[in-house]
Structure 1
Amino acid sequence: MNRLPVLVSPYGPFADLALHVHDLTIRGHHTETLHAADEAEAITLVLGDHRTHRVSRLGRMYALKSLGRLDEALRIAEDLIADQARLGGPKATDAKIMADAAEVLIDMGRIDDGLHYVARAMAVLDVAPRKGLRYFSAMASLAQAARVAELFELADDAMRRSIEAFDPTDDVYRSAAALTQAELWLEWSLRLDQVGRAEEAANLVGKCTAALEYWIDQGIDSPLASALLAVCHAKAERIKEALTLVEDLLPAMRAAEQNHESRLLHLANGLALRANGEWRAARREFRAAVELSVLRSQRLLFQYELTITAALEFPGEVTHAVLESLREHVEALWQLRLDRRTMLRQAYRRVELEAARTTADLAATSDALTGLGNRRMFDRRISTVTTGGSLLLIDVDHFKEINDRFSHGVGDRVLGEIAAVLRSHCRHDEVAIRFGGDEFAVFLSVGEEEARQVAERIRRVILARDWNTIMPGLSVTLSMGVAACRPGEPGRDLYDRADAHLYVAKRGGRNQLAAAAAA
């Protein structure tokens, strides 16, 4: 039966399902996102499209985070990290998922755990290819995680790198990244204002305004850009321009339940009204922004402006004392921000040390000729084999004759070719070993019937290989024995049974697989 072609996508063959999920959450329709994710995940599971399923799960996580359902978002993030470790994938994707998990953990107040994930994401991105959509997306996630930790310098650097990941003529992604960076600058400036660093705050507002006006002039159609610009105008006391943007946008954003843009527009309106001396109206706008806030960091920002406004409207000892108390709290939070920079450096150092230990351990358990695991790795793995797994033992037939007839150099090339075939037939959690000489082992995560099929594929690949390209007259075959682990069986007993089957294969004429007789 002929099938319709499916376009290839890095996000899976049915990527449109997941991209619809992401589009909804980007536009702020988070409840709709969850319904769309239900449908997308059900369909992709039936179709066996695991990549698109994971992308849809990521969109669900973003929606849950935006709705303040952080425990649920964290469970998805941890599941995605486990899937990525099990199934493998590009380094940038690893980093993105870790950065997304970091953001959720930091929002939950688990700062140390979150910064550890930030450090891991940074270490991965240090060695990832620095071009393309995956790198851009990972850097954007790292910037967002750094931003919620108020590590604004790191967030700004990550956004700069994400912008550099694309060709200068690629306005679609560059404008999206520039908009994210502008929002970062604005939030940074608001925090600097709170701790009395007005000149630095004004400089950032100026940068933000210039970037937003440039992209709006380029024709970018983004309510978020306009909402951010309204806040910039209000901070720069361009009151008429701020109020015009608010009047044009706020009713539509509230009607569409786009709460992020609405919060910013209420903030802009409150700042502009306060600058005009309309205290009560300004307080109403700040309260509206607080009511639309999901995260504590959002509420604190608007509550600060609300308290300043109340102090201006009702000057006196009580409001002055409340304002001073809030300022002390804000100063303490700023000091915590500085402490987090030290915590991140320490976390990054721990990640580097872990990587160094992993590298050293890998070198100690690797065969120098083939790059497979060595006898030390075999001894470690044989003691951990459990029911459901199998052990495949392999000997190269008449390998001594290959060395004697063609040279040890040719023999080494044969071993390297066999190692490459074994490696290509291993799943993520499976391991191929070279004992030394011409003896190999493969720890498979499947039962005996599937292990037989894997072994037969390996044997046929080696048999069909044109060995004449290495040396005319050369031929190579394999003898194999396989055994599946029984409940409660010690690893040494499993090895003995697989070795006995290998002996049967060699006695039976070689170039064959032997296993337990079928029941």
Structure 2
Amino acid sequence: MRNGALPKNRLPVLVSPYGPHPGLALRVHDLTIRGHHTETLLAADEAEAIALTLGDLRTHRIVRLGRMYALNALGRLDEALQIAEELIADQALLGGPKATDAKILADAARVLIHLGRIDDGLHHVARSMTLLDVAPRQGARYFSAMSSLGEAARSADLFELADDAMQRCLESFDSPDDLYRSGAELTHAELWLEWALRLEQVGRTEEAAGLIARCEPVLRYWLEQGIDTPLGAALLAVCHAKSGRIAEAFAIVGDLLPRMRATGQLHESRLLHLAHGLALRATGEWRAARREFRAGLEHAVLRAERLLFQYELAVTAALEFPGEATQSMLESLHDHVQALWQLRMDRRTMLRQAYRRVELEAARTSADMAATSDPLTGLGNRRMFDRRIGAVMAGGSLLLIDVDHFKAINDRYSHGVGDRVLGEIAGVLRAHCRHDEVAIRFGGDEFALFLATTEKEARQVAERIRRVIESRDWDAVMPGLTVTLSMGLAACRPGEAGRDLYDRADAHLYVAKRAGRNQLAAA
């Protein structure tokens, strides 16, 4: 696909095409949604290399997401988790909209839950939910993040939360392209069908039938629109088999299953084997039904998928060979299914607790930021400085900055202009801070910058800041206004106390002032 365009009547993956080169990411995600997971990994190799060559870290991150989806689908969960952890770490470095961060957390949660790390996964789900609570509720980012939250909730059997997330996903949809709505609605239908199958296992057959009845019209509608979605057809085949439309189920399976097996689309093949087995069992063909369920079991990657086919095999055996042995086996498996279903309630409680913990953490962080932030510029304040100077270590540098003749700026142009100058300088300092580097405003016109660099690199940063401020178009703020900075730099020595580092940087600052200002002084 060129320029990120989707081919006509193709089903898109539910991701937002972020980054300057979205076509790279869209090809990877298109392969994933079509079930070509091995091809996805090859396409991701190429796309990641190109994105890195172009310096496009945001598109690279979306391609990595596509790789993670493919690895998850292939059951390579440890590799998928490694990418998930990398992406979460990148959030602090690259930043981005809250909905984007929420999506990454939800995708990571899904992998953790599949690995059995339920506590960690639910904590990520809770973090994703709190971010989405305050994110703008329209647009592609929110749409994509809510879809990922729904998938994460579904992986934990939290079907009610998943259903709510998918409904919010659809409500946020604001694109004129029906392809994206079709993708969301088909994902929602797949959720309903999985929910129905689980309800049926625990004896809640009326609720299960109601969900299947909701699935069928959605699936038929989009297939009638000409959307090329083997997944939608496979889901419809299962619905037909469950609702007694046996001939229609056979027709879909006969047309689609050989093609899906030939192209290696395992997810669709698994669903079609399920539909075929159910339809064969409904006609009394026990042996053929068991063959299809075993074939589906071979393609099952996740525990929930395997359990589904094991349950259907047990039901089929009990019908084919009625007696105490098969009935006992079925009852034992049924007890196991009931126990797993009961775990849903425990997970709902765990999620509520995790959500509350995340809320409390956010409240503490917000209170801490308010206590350590300068209200005018949003930089750290003197309290933040005292905290950082006490923890400074060798390998870092401290840059102290004064605005030259700032009192004269206030006297000549007004304190309002002076505040604008301070705000502009704060923005430049913030832009030059990397991860774990902090800009501080002491008060007045005094600033500090904690840099995680050697003295040589810190000199380069300081000179860039000085030149940016000196060359800025200050006439746009007030005609005739000029602004320059004096700076003192010191690199922390092994074993040096923070106060001694500050004294050396401060001494260098006064050297710069005595030498005529608008310059940097360092050892």
| Match of residue 366 from structure 2 | 359
Is 2:405 aligned against 1:369? no
Q: Does 1:202 align with 2:183?
A: no
Q: 1:181 corresponds to which residue? A: 188
Counterpart position of 1:3 = none
Matched, 1:142 2:110: no
Change in CA separation of 1:97 and 1:395 when aligned onto 2, cut-off 3 Å: same
* Residues 405/31 of structure 1: CA separation in 2 closer, same or farther (3 Å cut): closer
Aligned to 2:136: 129
Give the drift of 1:411.
Answer: 3.5
Instruction: Kindly indicate whether the alpha-carbon contact (under 8 Å) linking 1:7 and 1:13 is maintained by their aligned counterparts in 2.
Output: no
Of the structure 1 ranges 94-103 and 27-36, higher mean CA displacement relative to structure 2 is found in: 27-36
Distance 1:407 1:17, change over 3 A: closer
Deviation digits for residues 428-455 of structure 1 (CA, Å, limit 9, x no counterpart): 4321111122211012233333333332
Give 1:262's match in structure 2, choosing from 263, 266, 269. Answer: 269
**Percent identity for Structure 1 against Structure 2:** 78
Match of 1:512 among 503, 516, 519: 519
Structure 2 counterpart of 1:214, one-letter code: Y
Deviates more, 1:389-398 or 1:403-412: 403-412
Give the secondary structure class of the aligned counterpart of 1:352: helix
* Aligned partners of 2:399 and 2:489 also within 8 Å: yes
What does 1:330-409 correspond to in 2, within 5 Å?
330-409=337-416
1:469 positional shift: 5.4
Q: Deviations over 1:335-374 (max 9, x none)?
A: 1011111111111111100000000000110112222101
**In the alignment, which residue of structure 1 is the partner of 2:306?**
299
Q: Is 1:167 aligned with 2:150?
A: no
What is the root-mean-square deviation in Å for CA atoms of aligned residues?
2.1
Correspondence for 1:427 among 414, 427, 434: 434
- Deviation digits for residues 88-123 of structure 1 (CA, Å, limit 9, x no counterpart): 112111111111111011111111111000000111
- CA shift digits 1:206-231 (9 cap, x unpaired): 11001001111211111111110000
* Structure 2 gaps, min length 5: 6-15
TM score, norm. by length of structure 2: 0.92
Per the TM alignment, residue 474 of structure 1 is displaced from its structure 2 partner at its CA by 4.5
Deviates more, 1:476-485 or 1:36-45: 36-45
Match of 1:73 in 2: 80
One-letter identity of the residue aligned with 2:145: A
State the SS of the aligned residue for 1:395: strand
Match of 2:323 in 1: 316
CA spacing shift, 1:408–1:168, aligned 2, 3 Å: closer
**Equivalent position of 2:108 in the other structure:** 101
Which residue matches 1:117? 124
Distance of aligned partners of 1:110 and 1:311 in 2 relative to their CA distance in 1, 3 Å threshold: same
Tell me the secondary structure at the aligned position of residue 301 of structure 2.
Answer: coil
Query: Which amino acid counterpart does residue 40 of structure 2 have in structure 1?
Result: T
Q: In structure 2, which of residues 51, 63, 69 is the aligned counterpart of residue 62 of structure 1?
A: 69
CA distance in 2, matches of 1:149, 1:350: 19
Larger deviation: 400-409 or 89-98? 400-409
- CA shift at 1:297, angstroms? 0.7
Aligned 8 A contact 2:4 2:23 in 1: no
CA contact (8 A) 1:86 1:429 kept: no
Cα offset, 1:166, TM superposition:
1.9
1:500 to 501, 507, 517: 507
Give the Å deviation of 1:457.
3.1
Question: Post-superposition shift, 1:235?
Answer: 0.5
For residue 384 of structure 1, report the CA deviation from its aligned partner. Answer: 3.0
The equivalent of 1:242 in structure 2 is 249
Quote how far apart the aligned CAs of 1:46 are: 3.8
Q: Distance in 2 between matches of 1:168 and 1:33?
A: 26
Partners of 1:401 and 1:51 in 2: CA distance: 44
Alignment gaps of 5+ in structure 1: 1-5
How far 1:11 moved relative to its partner?
3.6
Structure 1 length as normaliser, TM-score? 0.93
Distance in 2, matches of 1:257 and 1:145, equals: 25
How far does residue 416 in structure 1 lie from its aligned partner after superposition? Answer: 2.8
Matches within 5 A, 1:412-491: 412-467=419-474, 474-491=481-498
Q: What amino acid is the match of 1:80?
A: L
Which whole-Å CA distance do the structure 2 matches of 1:133 and 1:481 have between them?
A: 46
CA gap 1:40/1:464 in 2 versus in 1, 3 angstroms = closer
CA distance in 2, matches of 1:319, 1:231: 25
1:192 partner amino acid: L
Are residues 1:154 and 2:161 paired?
yes
Q: 2:259 aligns with which of 249, 252, 265?
A: 252
Work out the CA distance in 2 between the residues paired with 1:118 and 1:140. 12
CA contact (8 A) 2:404 2:518 kept: yes
Report the residue type matching 1:442 in the other structure. Answer: L
Q: Counterparts of 2:17 and 2:24 in 1: how far apart (Å)?
A: 13
Secondary structure of the structure 1 residue equivalent to 2:402? strand
Alpha-carbon shift at residue 41 of structure 1 (Å): 2.8
Look up the match of 1:280: 287
Q: Distance in 2 between matches of 1:168 and 1:407?
A: 48
- CA deviation string 1:292-339 (max 9, x = no partner): 101111000111111011001111111111111111111111110111
Describe the shift of the 1:346–1:465 C-alpha distance in structure 2 as closer, same or farther (beyond 3 A). same
Deviation at 1:406, TM superposition (A): 4.7
Contact 1:374 1:433 in 2 (8 A): yes
Conserved 8 A contact 2:4-2:26:
no
Distance in 2, Cα, partners of 1:472 & 1:276: 88
Count matched residues: 511
**Cα 1:504–1:335 shift into 2, 3 Å:** same
* SS at structure 2 position matched to 1:74: helix
Alignment check: 8 A CA contact 1:140 1:177 kept: yes
Q: Secondary structure at the match of 1:353?
A: helix
Q: Which amino acid in structure 2 is aligned with residue 106 of structure 1?
A: I
- TM superposition shift of 1:283: 1.0
Q: Is the 8 A contact 1:88 1:428 kept in 2?
A: no
Residue identity in the other structure for 1:42: A
Comparing 14-23 and 238-247, the one that deviates more: 14-23
Provide the C-alpha distance between the structure 2 equivalents of 1:238 and 1:460, rounded to a whole number of angstroms.
Answer: 75
Deviation at 1:514, TM superposition (A): 1.4
Which residue identity lines up with residue 303 of structure 2 in the other structure? R
Over residues 252-273 of structure 1, what are the superposed CA-to-partner deviations in whole Å (9 max), with x where a residue is unaligned? 1111111111111111111111
On the 8 A contact 2:139/2:174 being kept in 1, the answer is no
Q: What is the CA–CA distance in structure 2 between the aligned matches of 1:416 and 1:258, rounded to whole Å?
A: 56
Matched residues in 1 for 2:232 and 2:142: separation? 24
Specify whether residues 45 and 370 from structure 1 end up closer, same or farther in structure 2 by C-alpha distance, changes over 3 A only.
Answer: closer
Paired AA for residue 183 in structure 1:
E
Q: 1:490 to 1:194 in 2, by over 3 A?
A: same
